[in-house]
Amino acid sequence: MLVLIGLIVGAIIGAMTAKRRGGNRLDLLQYAGVFALIGAVIGLFVTVGVERML
C-alpha cells in the first residue's frame, strides 16, 4: 500500500515541479514518471522496513 501512495505522491510532486519550472506537456509527463518511480522505490523500502520491525 505504501508503494502506491509513494507512486501517486511522487507523480503529483513531479508534475508540480515541472509546472513550476515552466515545462510543456512532455516535461510534465517525464517529471511525473521519474518522481513516481522514485516515490515507489522509497515506498518499497519503507514497506520492507516496517515488515522487518514486526
Q: pLDDT tens digit string along 25-54?
A: 999 999 999 999 999 999 999 999 999 998
* pLDDT value of residue 54: 84
Helical axes 2-20 vs 25-53, angle rounded to 10°: 150
Q: Half-sphere exposure (CA, 13 Å, Cβ side) for 6? A: 15
pLDDT at 21 over 90: yes
